[in-house]
Amino acid sequence: MSDRPIRVLVVDDVEDDAYLLQAELGQRGVSIEYHRVDSEIDMAAELASDAWDLVISDHNMPGFDALAALEVLKRSGRDIPFIIHSAHISHQLAVSAMYDGVHDFIPKGQYERMVPVIERELRGAQARRAVRQADDRIQQLSYYDKLSALPNQNLFCDKVTEWLNTSQRQGRTARGALFVIDIDRFLRVNASFGYEAGNAVLKEVSQRLTEVLQSDVLLARLGGDEFGVFVPGIGERQSAEVFARWISKVFDSPFMKDGIELFLTPSTGVALIPTDGTQVYELLMSAETASAHAKKRGGNGFLFYDRTMNAASTERVALESDLRHAVERSELFLEFQPVIDAQSGTIVSAEALVRWNHPRLGRVPPDRFITLADETGLIVDIGAWVLNEACRCCRGWHVAGFSDMKVSVNVSAVQFGQPRLLEAVRDALSHSNLPPKALMLEITESSLMQDAESTAGMLRALRNMGVRISVDDFGTGYSSLSYLKRFPLDVIKIDKSFVRDLCVDEEDAAIVRAIIALAHSMRRSTIAEGVETAEQVELLKRENCEFFQGYYFGRPMNIERILERLEAQKVQA
């Protein structure tokens, strides 16, 4: 128990009995502060006005008893232990009262029994409070956006669905409007001033919208720089247009950052009920489609959803919704493309490639869903899954006896810009028990150059963990190669666009030779991508390219097939 006195609301008609209770408990090491009440009105008033740790009640009082006091406590909604302390209550009635909610019964005068009961009930109350606080925290995390404190998409959808269902039960036609607000070119704020500045702007946008919207309007942060607004009762397009213009005025005043005025504009999409949908996700897709079209037109405006809008937009939103659940539904899987040692001709590594088996569409092409994942930020969670799965598979090869095998994983520009990448890599290695040197992260040349200073720091941190780094698509992004000196890289992957015509295009051959020579001069290894012919292999060998990857050696395959190839290599050796 805490050092402070226990605050006890004593329900008793005799002040001497209350004072005796305090004195007897004090002699036994239990310090209490009490206030005595003996009527329903007084007890209700005390419960409403003050915080109590415990209620100890006599049973027989003029016009009031313990059972009536228990009902007063229940009506208050307070979770406070209730103990009957009386000489005038039958054992049968006491047991019945405990079934009704009384926590314990102590015959009057038995103070030695009272002490452990008080201690037990206070511990129980504390445990229940901890559970409630945890539940409240879970509720907060599940339904509210941490940055803005606004409802998140989950709560937004639940509330709109509840409103739609209520309208249906009441037999009335639901009318309303759902707005999706997307801030134009918001990424420039993050890129120019950093994520903290971007978060500050998002919080101010949230505050401005909250101030101008009425209480019956539901506002939520749907994610990133996207906000949702639901306005019940709007039945006409003209009224919705007035509301959309009102939303736009929120952005009229500049946002300040270190004395610099930042002018932001919204692209707002509007979906009307029931014209554009009668289910919340249908309405969201419609409004997001309209918002995307407003952005394509240059932003700083609003558009109503029109069914003639690009059908692909609707499909894209649906695909995004499905992609959000692909990991948890085990729809994603990995295939591996082998990397061959030029000298031995054996598999020494494999590149992990994520695939999506959609329950309705079948296998979705990677260029279709990876781009979508990048644009929506889902690539961060998907990338973490790929890291974990790839490390787990590589560890499986090690356990099978191929301890020299390595695995490489692509890291997108979005992932690379997230501080969480270090944690994701560390967790993947730890959970799989894979040695760090067995993991190589592949980062595109263009991603490396988005922020050279931050890039160098991230690469150093990864290298300090023991992870190897390769630059992918080399030669396609920047003509200046000086950054190779600054970045701690292990491998340079020669882009397949140069390898494809290597044997027939002298310019491509010259580029490949130059890349290999440059890499060797800086003690970097090279991997040639897209190798498809024996002629390409021979030419690359003459130029001392160390590793090959391409259809000539194998298309992407599942983990079992890689293991079969490794076993076959072992037999041949």
Compute φ and ψ for 94, nearest 5 degrees: -65, -45
Give the pLDDT confidence score for residue 309 in this predicted structure.
75
Give the pLDDT confidence score for residue 573 in this predicted structure.
62
Q: Write out pLDDT tens, residues 147-185.
A: 888 998 888 999 999 999 998 888 888 899 999 999 988
Confidence of residue 374 (pLDDT cuts 50, 70, 90): confident
- The span from the CA of 289 to the CA of 308, in Å, is 11
- Between 349 and 141, the higher pLDDT residue: 349
Residue 464 has pLDDT above 60, yes or no: yes
Q: Is the N-terminal amide bond of 274 cis, ω within 30° of 0?
A: yes
Is residue 205 within 8 A of residue 183, CB to CB? The reply is yes
Give the pLDDT confidence score for residue 480 in this predicted structure.
46
Question: Which of the given ranges, 23-37, 86-100, 362-376, has the highest pLDDT on average?
Answer: 23-37
Residue 132 has pLDDT above 80, yes or no: no
Q: What percent of the chain clears pLDDT 90, i.e. is strictly above it? A: 45
Out of 313-317, 458-462, 567-571, which region has the weakest mean confidence (pLDDT)?
Answer: 313-317
Q: Write out pLDDT tens, residues 212-221.
A: 888 789 999 9
Give the pLDDT confidence score for residue 220 in this predicted structure.
93
Give the pLDDT confidence score for residue 288 in this predicted structure.
92
Average pLDDT over residues 409-427: 87
**Which of these, 3, 8, 40, lies nearest to 24 by C-alpha position?**
8
Confidence of residue 479 (pLDDT cuts 50, 70, 90): very low
Length of the chain: 573
- The span from the CA of 31 to the CA of 24, in Å, is 10
- Between 310 and 171, the higher pLDDT residue: 171
Q: Tell me, what DSSP letter sits at residue 346?
A: -
Residue 314 has pLDDT above 70, yes or no: no
Bridge partners of residue 8, in order along the sequence? 34, 54
Confidence of residue 502 (pLDDT cuts 50, 70, 90): confident
Pairing of strands 547-548, 525-528: parallel
Q: What percent of the chain clears pLDDT 70, i.e. is strictly above it? A: 94
**Which of these, 279, 261, 260, lies nearest to 271 by C-alpha position?**
279
Average pLDDT over residues 391-404: 94
Per-chain mean pLDDT for the chain: 87
Give the pLDDT confidence score for residue 135 in this predicted structure.
65
Q: Enter the pTM of the model.
A: 0.50
Average pLDDT over residues 509-525: 89
Supply the DSSP string of 184-214, one letter for each residue: TTTHHHHHHH-HHHHHHHHHHHHHHHHHHS-
- The span from the CA of 573 to the CA of 567, in Å, is 10
Residues contacting residue 281 through CB under 8 Å, at least 6 positions apart = 157, 321
Give the pLDDT confidence score for residue 44 in this predicted structure.
92
Helix (H, G, I), strand (E, B) or coil at 351: strand
> Domains of the chain (ranges plus CATH)?
6-141 (3.40.50.2300), 153-309 (3.30.70.270), 327-572 (3.20.20.450)
Residue 402 has pLDDT above 90, yes or no: yes
Residue 553 exposed, middle or buried by CB count within 10 Å (0-12, 13-18, 19+): middle
